[in-house]
Amino acid sequence: MPLARVMAWLSCLGLVAGTACASDQAPSDMAVLLLRAADLSWPPPIPFNAAFAEALQSSSSFPVYVYEETIASDMLSVVGGSRLLFDYLTTKYAGRHVDAIVAVGDAALAFVRQNQGMFGAPQIVAVTTGIGATRTEDGYARRLDASPEIGKTLDLALALRPSTRHVFVVDGALRNHGELEAEVRQQMARRRADVRLIYLKDLLPSELDARMAAIPPASIVLFLRQTIGENRQHIHPLQGLSHVVRASKEPVFSVEEAHVGRGVVGGSVWRMETVAKWAADATRRTGSSPKTRDAAVAGVTSSILLDWRELERWNIPEARVPRNSTVLFHPAPPLEPERHDGAAGLLLAVVVVALFAVILVARRARVRAQHEALRMRDRMLHLARFSAMGEVAASLAHELSQPLSAALSNARVADHLLSREHIPVPELKAILQDIVNDNRRAADVIARIRDMVSRRVTERARVDLQEVVRAINRLLASEAARRRVSMRLDLVPGALTVEADRVQLQQVMLNLLLNALDAASLSEGVGREVHVSTRMSDQQTAHIMVSDNGPGLPPGMEQQVFEPFYTTKRSGMGVGLWISRSIVEGHDGRIWATARPGGGADFHVTLPRLPAEGGS
């Protein structure tokens, strides 16, 4: 799945998706659906959503209800994925009116475009990326021109480093259409003629290392994006940035707020709070009278953001820093020496009182932080389950279509029998029973999908690991058949009972089996196989092993595969195994991988085993 676009040049516009209201009367309330693409790294989802909701509610004279949903971008690319998401949203919000949809990111906007009739005819607010033109080709959404921010960042870099003779631009993406290169070259041509521009486009990390090591003195680096990994797989934008700032021998500048504080000197950026308020203003106007709605929405003002630590590192004097800049991580000025003992005693008393106050509130703050961390972790797990289900959406749609098609055929036969003069009642009863059975099969498929993607709180109970394995095996049976991979179960007799959250364990098994299916699918010829076995390592430990006969793990990578954002797949995010490790370790268990001698890999999971009910 493609990750966050590093160039998060954002804009917002309220678009009329239906007819305008006939009267100037303001609405009694407003319901807004905030639909966000899961692969965006900026704006950060939790603070952006909170700032948007607060700005919208505080500036509206009527009650506002904000609903939040996140969609996996790769789900829209599989057959039936968009329809599955459409059915999920319309079912969840059935009976609720939705006045406006705020689409954050290109994937969310694409989904809204495909389903313009969802929830009737709501207004549309787009938070989209763009450069150059302020309106998309189909005229559907306006967007803010990011060209000035590139120019302002170049001006800032040249002002902070006036001796610059070379500007190296890093622009690496798997699908690079060249629009950034053309814009940067045009912006640079308007500036100093004695500065040479070197454009590093679509390089591998190793190639980028070599170029960074050879950068001459009196140079600067403008980082736009680097999402290409060593094997030409998609990597996280912040991972690419970390690689560049570590290798560069000269200061690095950027046009994105999220990069400041990660080794970047700074740049002209759009602040998250400003974008959120602008989006809220556009959304609020969609619910106002036509005269108010047609009024212009104030533009997003950029800010110069700098990292004081990087200014110190590259010996950039403070006198060169523009007055309207925001400098982060600046140390507090030292206190002047006290002239009287009395003042020192007063300061000590203030410190003691403050220390007692901190002690009194520390526990409450710690509890709040723990609750927030658990809430964010549960949300991350839900998004990961949604993404994993997107990978098998096509197979699930096929599995669902079979019983529905059978029920339709039986209904047509029954209709034909009813038209006869002498109705064969026994045959008709059998056909009706078949229709009931087909509908139960379809309901089972829908229940399995709903169980995996619905939001829920963590609930620990007695869970049979064997049943978890069987449930995920049934869920992926159609996907395995589609990939021509044989799935074989080798389970110990009886139950392997653990105390755990059942859905989280299903998520671990889903991640492991999807990875195994991906690996086995790469095996050439016949004999593609995934093998799942269970056993008891001892009386207190349950053991699951998932094996495949794919190409196997690279040497020495057995531990690295569990690190965040590490992946060997072109479309992978690199978070599935990381999340699986977090879940297993949260259940006092252990997960690890080993390479198989004849090719393939084994993934092991052990969990503390509970004694059987009524026995040992």
Q: In this structure, are 413 and 484 located in the same domain?
A: no
Domain assignment present for 358: no
pLDDT exceeds 80 at position 131: no
Closest Cα partner for 40 from 98, 122, 127?
Answer: 127
Give the DSSP per-residue string, 169-180.
EEEE-SS--SHH
Give Cα separations from 321 to 157, 160, 260, 302 (angstroms). 10, 7, 15, 16
Sign, CA torsion 447/453/456/460: positive
- The secondary element (H helix, E strand) that includes residue 207 is helix 205-213
Q: How far is CA 460 from the centre of its chain?
A: 26
Q: In this structure, are 30 and 62 located in the same domain?
A: yes
Helix/strand/coil for 104 = strand
Give Cα separations from 512 to 517, 562, 577, 578, 592 (angstroms). 9, 12, 8, 11, 11
Give Cα separations from 455 to 48, 118, 380, 381, 604 (angstroms). 21, 22, 11, 9, 28
Domain assignment present for 360: no
Number of helices (H) and strands (E) in the chain: give both, helices first.
17, 19
CATH of the domain at 508: 3.30.565.10
Q: In this structure, are 152 and 281 located in the same domain?
A: no
Q: In this structure, are 323 and 190 located in the same domain?
A: yes
CA–CA distance, 103 with 100 (Å, rounded to integer): 10
Helix/strand/coil for 59 = coil
The confidence score (pLDDT) of residue 401 equals 59
Domain assignment present for 5: no
Q: In this structure, are 135 and 237 located in the same domain?
A: no
Q: In this structure, are 114 and 30 located in the same domain?
A: yes
Domain assignment present for 354: no
310 or 114: whose pLDDT is higher? 310
Q: In this structure, are 196 and 223 located in the same domain?
A: yes
The confidence score (pLDDT) of residue 428 equals 75
Question: Do the beta carbons of residue 10 and residue 300 sit within 8 Å?
Answer: yes
| pLDDT tens figures, 94-111 | 888 888 888 887 778 888
Domain assignment present for 606: yes
Band (pLDDT 50/70/90 cuts) for residue 607 is very high
216 or 14: whose pLDDT is higher? 216
Domain assignment present for 362: no
Domain assignment present for 361: no
Other Cβ atoms closer than 10 A to 592: 15
Span 285-301, average pLDDT: 52
pLDDT exceeds 50 at position 160: yes
Token pair recorded at residue 48: 């952006």
Q: In this structure, are 262 and 283 located in the same domain?
A: no
Q: In this structure, are 151 and 140 located in the same domain?
A: no
pLDDT exceeds 80 at position 606: yes
Question: Do the beta carbons of residue 118 and residue 94 sit within 8 Å?
Answer: no
Question: Do the beta carbons of residue 13 and residue 125 sit within 8 Å?
Answer: yes
Instruction: For residue 22, give its domain range.
Output: 10-144+272-300
For the chain, report the end-to-end CA distance as a whole number of angstroms.
46
Span 376-383, average pLDDT: 59
Domain assignment present for 231: yes
The confidence score (pLDDT) of residue 113 equals 80
Q: Give the chain's mean pLDDT.
A: 78
Q: In this structure, are 101 and 171 located in the same domain?
A: no
| pLDDT tens figures, 468-525 | 999 889 888 888 888 899 999 999 998 899 999 888 898 899 889 988 998 888 887 6
Report the domain count for the chain. 4
The confidence score (pLDDT) of residue 17 equals 35
Q: Strand 30-37 and strand 100-104: pairing?
A: parallel
Residue 88's contacts (CB-CB under 8 Å, 6 or more residues apart) are 453
Q: In this structure, are 107 and 166 located in the same domain?
A: no
CA–CA distance, 448 with 386 (Å, rounded to integer): 13
Residue 524: phi and psi, rounded to 5, are -85, 150
CATH of the domain at 156: 3.40.50.2300
Band (pLDDT 50/70/90 cuts) for residue 315 is very high
- The secondary element (H helix, E strand) that includes residue 338 is none
Q: Match 């938070």 to its residue by tokens.
A: 127
Span of 1-5, 57-61, 171-175, 379-383 with lowest mean pLDDT: 1-5
Helix/strand/coil for 534 = strand
| pLDDT tens figures, 324-364 | 999 999 887 665 554 556 677 788 888 888 887 888 787 77
Domain termination residue (choose one: 452, 480, 500): 452
Closest Cα partner for 80 from 386, 474, 401, 383?
Answer: 401
CA–CA distance, 108 with 40 (Å, rounded to integer): 11
- Helix pair 147-160, 179-189: axis angle to 10 deg: 50
Sign, CA torsion 75/384/109/35: positive
Span 72-93, average pLDDT: 79
Span of 61-75, 103-117, 119-133 with lowest mean pLDDT: 119-133
Domain termination residue (choose one: 414, 432, 452): 452
CA–CA distance, 578 with 575 (Å, rounded to integer): 5
Q: In this structure, are 557 and 519 located in the same domain?
A: yes
- The secondary element (H helix, E strand) that includes residue 326 is strand 326-328
In this prediction, what percent of the chain has a pLDDT beyond 70?
Answer: 74
Domain termination residue (choose one: 284, 300, 316): 300
Q: Strand 529-538 and strand 541-548: pairing?
A: antiparallel
| pLDDT tens figures, 3-29 | 333 233 333 333 333 333 333 445 578
- Helix pair 465-475, 425-453: axis angle to 10 deg: 110
The confidence score (pLDDT) of residue 245 equals 94
77 or 82: whose pLDDT is higher? 82
| pLDDT tens figures, 388-432 | 555 555 555 655 655 676 567 667 767 767 887 777 878 777 778
Rg of the chain over CA atoms, in angstroms?
A: 29
